[in-house]
A and B are shown apart, each in its own frame.
Chain A
Amino acid sequence: MMFFDQILQGIFLGAYYALIACGLSFLFGVMRIINLAHGSIAVLSAFLVLSLAEHFGISPFFALLLAVPVMAAAGFVLQRTILERSLRSGPLTPLLSTFGLAVVLDNSMFQSFGANTRSLAPNIGDLSFAGWSGPGGIEVGQLAVLTLVVAVALLSGLQALLTYTPLGRAIRACAEDPETAELVGIDARHVYAAATAIALVTVAIAGTFLAMRSTFDPYTGPTQLIFAFEAIVIGGTGSLWGTLIGGIVLGVAQNLGSQVSPQGFLIGGHLAFLLVLAARFAFAGRDWRGWFGVRSRAVA
């Protein structure tokens, strides 16, 4: 039963990883950029939501509603100032510039908010510990279930946006071939900026859940980036439901690892990631179709 419980908790943890991963995956799918500042931006939005919640004395969920337009605007600015310019200078430049941005963000947050670890858990009352008891002493936290529901809703929402809306079709067209997209009247710059704004909205949601379910500090970002990246790669780069499955595999592997040793939590996750990669290389050539329907080009 202990074992079963660990798997169950791993699934809920995986739902958080799917949340944090979907923005990274989305941006990669649209622009072929891996944003190395992704985790730092998630922590930044966690600080934003925390500050709003404390300043106005409101629930973090209301604070998130206020943070969403701010992060969307930040996404627009990020695209116009950094990503667009990077994209023009070749495939390596986005990595260099977003890594530089991550260093700036992490240390600026340290400068502004100090080294103390923070959490939104005190701001959400019962939600942080309340749960339901199941048969065999299994406990299911309300926040964990909420995370899973939000993750599924967010991924479905993104899928629906891409499939059924004009903006979604324009995003897919640009993801596949930006030059031809321009030839059917699409302003690729505008679409990219909109896509980055959408990605940062998902990051704001993920950052809020990060802050509600655990503690964070200004240097938590890189770890979140690594978890998000591992979830994406395990699930198959750029695949929608793959991201959720990847997150769950990662969460379960970490939880099982933690049963072996205190450091096993992280080691278990990294090993699962490496094993999946090794398996993929062994079956090279068979690739997943991502949520843009394009074969993931960046995978060898």
Chain B
Amino acid sequence: MSLLAVENLSARHGLLQAVSGVSFTAAEGEILALVGANGAGKTTLLRTIAGSHRAAGGRISFEGADLGTMRAHRRVQLGIALVPEGRRLFGAMTVEENLKVAGANGRRGRWTIETVLDAFALLKPLLRRRCGELSGGQQQATAIGRALMTNPRVLLLDEVSLGLSPVAVRTVYDSLQTVIAQGDTTIVLVEQDLSRALRIATRVACMLEGRIVLEGKAADLTRERITEAYFGLRRGEGGMRA
């Protein structure tokens, strides 16, 4: 059975339809990469799953149970955690406090400050630093570590590499590999870097104008097919819906 199932989900920003009729499932330990241009609805989709954005229609179920209008903090306690776009750390609090506050309010489990520091070794000397003073890569590591502290079964990662230096991106992804290696955390990640997405993911879904237009095993998809879907080139309407 799939751990997370999204059926015919739609979400709006005012009159703007950001997500329309999206369906996908993710099994335990699966790594799903969401790709697509800016404004394709990826961030809204993740926020809706996490409970930060209200769904306008459709269903999200976790272990077969409908999440309905459950609030975000309850979803965290079930095991759904989002690393939001822009990282959104508590900038006035230290790295340690950011980790602790999540640890105190999420699920219990394998992830503690010690295990997070093992996976994200760069954070060790930074524990007492205020997050507002950290570099982008350090902040992203803290943000992922903070989400892990809630011991999620589904980890939603939005724009992991946005605004980071290539070195920082590599460090963050190396650490993510140690999370993936545990094998029991489902990850849905939004990534602009196609080749990186293809390397890390088991499956890829491409979004265009609020819909999933291409989905498949990462191994089966070529860069070209994804690029076409990314820009909506294979479709007769020229990418516009009537």
Cα distance A184–B82 in the bound complex, in angstroms = 8
Q: Is B90's CB under 8 angstroms from A170's CB? A: no
| Chain A proximity of B59: nearest CB distance (Å) | 21
Which stretch from B100-108, B182-190, B212-220, B229-237 is at the chain A interface? B100-108
Cα distance A241–B25 in the bound complex, in angstroms = 53
B102 neighbours in A (Cβ, 8 Å): 184-185
| Chain B proximity of A30: nearest CB distance (Å) | 13
Q: Is A183's CB under 8 angstroms from B84's CB? A: yes
Q: Which of A150-191 contact B (CB under 8 A)?
A: 166, 169-170, 172-173, 176-177, 179-188
Q: Mark A187-210, 1 if CB is under 8 A from B, else 0.
A: 110000000000000000000000
Q: Is A185's CB under 8 angstroms from B106's CB? A: yes
A131 is an interface residue with CB less than 8 A from chain B: no
Cα distance A267–B105 in the bound complex, in angstroms = 49
Q: Is B52's CB under 8 angstroms from A183's CB? A: yes
Residue of chain B at shortest CB distance from A187: B73
Q: Is B88's CB under 8 angstroms from A177's CB? A: yes
B91 neighbours in A (Cβ, 8 Å): 176
B71 neighbours in A (Cβ, 8 Å): 182, 187
Given contacts A172-B93, A293-B93, A293-B130, contact A184 B105 (CB under 8 A): yes
Please give the number of chain B residues whose Cβ is less than 8 angstroms from any Cβ of chain A in the complex: 29
B73 neighbours in A (Cβ, 8 Å): 181-183, 185-188
Cα distance A180–B142 in the bound complex, in angstroms = 14
Q: Is B100's CB under 8 angstroms from A292's CB? A: no
Cα distance A189–B71 in the bound complex, in angstroms = 11
B84 neighbours in A (Cβ, 8 Å): 180, 183
A31 is an interface residue with CB less than 8 A from chain B: no
Q: Is A184's CB under 8 angstroms from B150's CB? A: yes
Q: Mark B74-97, 1 if CB is under 8 A from A, else 0.
A: 001100011010001011110001
| Chain B proximity of A290: nearest CB distance (Å) | 9
Report the contact-size class of chain A (Cβ under 8 Å from the partner): 20 to 34
A294 is an interface residue with CB less than 8 A from chain B: yes
Partner of A183, one of B82, B92, B107, B130: B82
B104 neighbours in A (Cβ, 8 Å): 166, 169-170
A292 neighbours in B (Cβ, 8 Å): 92
Q: Is A184's CB under 8 angstroms from B93's CB? A: no
| Chain A proximity of B118: nearest CB distance (Å) | 20
| Chain A proximity of B107: nearest CB distance (Å) | 8
B42 neighbours in A (Cβ, 8 Å): none
Q: Is B52's CB under 8 angstroms from A182's CB? A: yes
Q: Is B76's CB under 8 angstroms from A185's CB? A: yes
B211 is an interface residue with CB less than 8 A from chain A: no
Partner of A179, one of B52, B81, B105, B130: B52
| Chain B proximity of A171: nearest CB distance (Å) | 10
Residue from A173, A177, A182, A185 with most neighbouring chain B CB atoms (10 Å): A185
| Chain B proximity of A158: nearest CB distance (Å) | 16
B50 is an interface residue with CB less than 8 A from chain A: yes
Given contacts A169-B97, A169-B104, contact A185 B150 (CB under 8 A): yes
B137 is an interface residue with CB less than 8 A from chain A: no
Cα distance A170–B102 in the bound complex, in angstroms = 9
Q: Is B93's CB under 8 angstroms from A180's CB? A: no
Please give the residue numbers on chain B whose beta carbons come within 8 Å of chain A beta carbons, in ascending order.
Answer: 50-52, 71-73, 76-77, 81-82, 84, 88, 90-93, 97, 100-102, 104-107, 130, 146-147, 149-150
Give 27 pairs: A residue, B residue, CB < 8 Å, sorted on A.
Answer: A169-B93, A169-B97, A170-B105, A172-B93, A173-B90, A176-B93, A177-B88, A177-B90, A179-B88, A180-B88, A181-B90, A182-B52, A183-B72, A183-B81, A183-B147, A184-B81, A184-B101, A184-B147, A184-B149, A184-B150, A185-B73, A185-B102, A185-B105, A185-B107, A187-B73, A292-B92, A294-B92
Please give the residue numbers on chain A whose beta carbons come within 8 Å of chain B beta carbons, in ascending order.
Answer: 166, 169-170, 172-173, 176-177, 179-188, 289, 292-294
Given A170-B105, A180-B88, 13 more pairs with CB closer than 8 A: A169-B100, A170-B104, A176-B91, A177-B90, A179-B72, A179-B88, A182-B76, A183-B52, A183-B81, A183-B82, A183-B147, A184-B149, A185-B73
